[in-house]
Structure 1
Amino acid sequence: MFDHPDLATLRQCSILCSAAYTVVFFFMAGRRAWYLYWGWGACSYCASLILAALVGEPFPVWTQMVTDGVLAFSMALVLAGVRRFDGVRGFVPWMWGVVAATAIMPSAAVAALGRGPAASACWSLTMACCSFVLAVPLLLGRTNDGSTRPRRIAGCLLMLYVPVYLTVAGCQMFAPQAAATLEGVPFLADQLLFGAANLALLWIPASHSEHRLRQMALRDPLTGVWNRAALAASEAELLVPGRVALLVDVDRFKAINDRHGHGVGDRVLVAIATALQHSVGGDFVARLGGDEFLVIASADDPATIIDRIRGHSGGDEAELPAWTVSIGAARIEAGDRSIDDVIQRADQLMYRAKDRGRTPVAA
């Protein structure tokens, strides 16, 4: 019967687990600061357990302050590493405040109440608060780099320490006879939560890299707008009756290349892509190939968007030749089964527009 857990064995397991992740994070670090933060976090946690094992209970007040502070510091380093991954400062003042409060409050409770159930419960409640405060930014943070899911998983795992510590605190206060049995619960939680949280941290850079590769596959490498692969992947979302497909073609683009060189021609394409993005805001802009672009606009009045596109024609960038575009506009209809049906209609209208001269529109 599991009446009195072997705390020494559980502590050793936690030490070995944290030491293993320390080696992994430091080995992967290189010049990537976030791995160093997570490595020092695992190392700090390992150090707090070793210090507690060496000193033994009951802890002197100074030992408890140092141990609790290092333990809180190890949790804060998880969040600090994520912040460094985002390119901002790792530690901010409120995080240092959490570490300091976690180090001081349990020792202050011992000094005020003496060693007993109330002081032990104060320690558990303090650790629960520390876990909660440091987990919330991971749970609520939103990113567009593909790493939101592993961040939230890491935050959830850190948050799961809260009910663990609250349960221990409740037993210490109201069921002291069960407190000895539950002493090992945080160490048991470590065997699952600590390792899983570190795996989630390792997943953050991996998911970010996967997102970047996916974006590269769906983006035109020259202009940065979407490409045909992105058009095919987003077809179901774009094929909404009432929207307007604008097929934009550069007038006499071959003459620009022949007269000014392909380097200047590439810069003209970039300028046109930028002008289209500025004209339609968050709507879909893709380069179909060569000097042909597609815009899927959600505005009720496509004439407004067309006027903005024509207003950008010619570009404002110095040392670029003047350029104009021809536009064919076709509204997406309920009977359209694919985006190619709409593009074909817009293409016919665009060539009809070209027959009328420069910067024309056919709709």
Structure 2
Amino acid sequence: MLDLPDIQTLRLCSMLASLAFFGVFACLWVGRRDESYFLHWGAGSLLYTFVILGFNVSDHSPVEDGLLYALLSTSTLSVLTGVRRFDGQAPVPPWLIGLILLSGLFYAVPAQIFGSDSAPARIGGTCANLLAMAVSGGLLFFGHRGGEGPGRRIAGSALLGFIPGFLAAIAAEAYGSADVNMAALIPMLCDPLLLPVLNLGLLAMPGERAQARLREAALRDPLTGAWNRAGLAALAPRLLRPGNAVIVLDVDHFKTINDQHGHGVGDRILTLLVESARTVLHSPGSEIARLGGDEFVMVLPERSHAEASGLADELRHALRSRLRRMPDLPPCTISLGIAAIEAGDRDFAQAIERADAALYRAKAQGRDRAA
């Protein structure tokens, strides 16, 4: 039978690893002070180091060790507070403070009744840390935000990976020998594997977000924020379906506006047009893309010609209303052409061509209308 590892050696290894990750997070925060989630994650690693040290020097009174277990849960929950800050949320909701206080009581109450070094006290402390791991890991793993890569789920899975070790520790304390502190030994055995996975998952998250933003920026028109042609092509798997409506639109006499008022005014009108379009695109999944110049296309899921025509009129009136409130911009109108995506369309080109032909009919009929 293999000899059990020395708990003090395992604690030293966990302390050194946590100090190393604290140094990484601290350096990243010093270089990017506005990204305070690094400070949360670094503080959690540093706090974990001091908690382990505290268990080594503690006199193991119920109050002192209860405080250490509360701080241990705090170090775990700092992963969650950092992620909440990363997501732009308040990092410390009130329920989280209650969870920390509960963690201390999980140990302190049985320790007061049965003794600080008793199996019930160890089980209570282990349950407290298990609860913090389950809450943090569950929210990270199952509350995953799409489009930013797997870093968040990797961190969440690492936290959840501690749970089998805690359950084994509880079972060992309940049914095994009390000669060895299994509540300390088994979780410490998990640290060398899961702490690096946890922290590397957290470190991956900012890079994944930056990559996602760069990918989206490459698919967006920098002036208006509408999708560009590449972005429209990327939307094809979701929007290129028979029955969806396509509206092609442009600004009437846009060249004259640019010539008489300047390209800056023309740019403002295009931006205002896209803003107006977004106010009338009520149905989920509707999108607008800039094809080039002053020409745009809107794709509307599951809209009939009559519904698309109503939305086109709504957009014309919305733009006119906004322009009335901006006297420094010249009055202008838009013309629109409506078509439907058909079963044989391999990409948006065919539907856009049909809508474009309708757009020219609208212009031939006097502009400022949809056809």
Pairwise CA distance, 1:286: 0.4
Matches within 5 A, 1:74-113: 74-113=75-114
Match of 2:138 in 1: 136
Match of 1:260 in 2: 261
CA distance in 2, matches of 1:218, 1:156: 32
Call closer, same or farther: CA 1:65–1:118 in 2, change over 3 Å.
closer
Match of 2:71 in 1: 70
Q: Provide the secondary structure at the position in 1 that maps to 2:349.
A: helix
Pairwise CA distance, 1:177: 6.6
Call closer, same or farther: CA 1:94–1:186 in 2, change over 3 Å.
same
CA distance in 1, matches of 2:21, 2:354: 59
Name whichever of 170-179 and 2-11 sits farther off: 170-179
The answer on whether the counterparts of 2:73 and 2:128 sit within 8 Å (CA) in structure 1 is: no
Match of 1:306 in 2: 312
Call closer, same or farther: CA 1:130–1:280 in 2, change over 3 Å.
closer
Name whichever of 149-158 and 164-173 sits farther off: 149-158
- Uncovered stretches (5+) of structure 2, i.e. residues with no partner: none
Pairwise CA distance, 1:142: 4.9
Pairwise CA distance, 1:315: 4.2
Query: What TM-score does the superposition give when structure 2 sets the normalisation length?
Result: 0.90
Pairwise CA distance, 1:256: 1.0
Pairwise CA distance, 1:182: 7.2
Matched, 1:229 2:230: yes
Q: Provide the secondary structure at the position in 1 that maps to 2:209.
A: helix
CA distance in 2, matches of 1:196, 1:314: 55
Call closer, same or farther: CA 1:93–1:197 in 2, change over 3 Å.
same
The answer on whether the counterparts of 1:5 and 1:181 sit within 8 Å (CA) in structure 2 is: no
The answer on whether the counterparts of 2:313 and 2:370 sit within 8 Å (CA) in structure 1 is: no
Deviations 1:272-318, CA, capped at 9 Å, x for gaps: 11122222234110011100000111213322222222322424141
Call closer, same or farther: CA 1:204–1:358 in 2, change over 3 Å.
same
The answer on whether the counterparts of 1:29 and 1:35 sit within 8 Å (CA) in structure 2 is: yes
Call closer, same or farther: CA 1:352–1:185 in 2, change over 3 Å.
same
Please tell me the root mean square deviation across aligned C-alpha atoms, in Å. 2.0
CA distance in 2, matches of 1:89, 1:280: 31
CA distance in 2, matches of 1:182, 1:63: 17
- Uncovered stretches (5+) of structure 1, i.e. residues with no partner: none
The answer on whether the counterparts of 1:171 and 1:178 sit within 8 Å (CA) in structure 2 is: no
- Which letter maps to 1:329? I
Q: Provide the secondary structure at the position in 2 that maps to 1:100.
A: helix
Call closer, same or farther: CA 1:23–1:185 in 2, change over 3 Å.
same
Deviations 1:126-152, CA, capped at 9 Å, x for gaps: 2212222333332343546x3474223
2:346 to 337, 341, 348: 337
The answer on whether the counterparts of 2:69 and 2:128 sit within 8 Å (CA) in structure 1 is: no
Q: Provide the secondary structure at the position in 1 that maps to 2:320.
A: coil
Pairwise CA distance, 1:222: 0.7
Call closer, same or farther: CA 1:346–1:190 in 2, change over 3 Å.
same
CA distance in 1, matches of 2:351, 2:129: 60
Matches within 5 A, 1:1-363: 1-30=1-30, 31=33, 32-55=35-58, 59-114=60-115, 115-143=117-145, 146-147=147-148, 149-176=150-177, 183-281=184-282, 282=284, 283-298=286-301, 299-300=303-304, 301-317=307-323, 318-319=326-327, 320-362=329-371
CA distance in 2, matches of 1:156, 1:259: 61
The answer on whether the counterparts of 2:241 and 2:341 sit within 8 Å (CA) in structure 1 is: yes
Pairwise CA distance, 1:337: 1.9
Query: What TM-score does the superposition give when structure 1 sets the normalisation length?
Result: 0.92
Call closer, same or farther: CA 1:343–1:207 in 2, change over 3 Å.
same
The answer on whether the counterparts of 1:326 and 1:361 sit within 8 Å (CA) in structure 2 is: yes
Pairwise CA distance, 1:62: 4.0
Work out the number of aligned pairs and report it: 359
Identical columns (%): 36
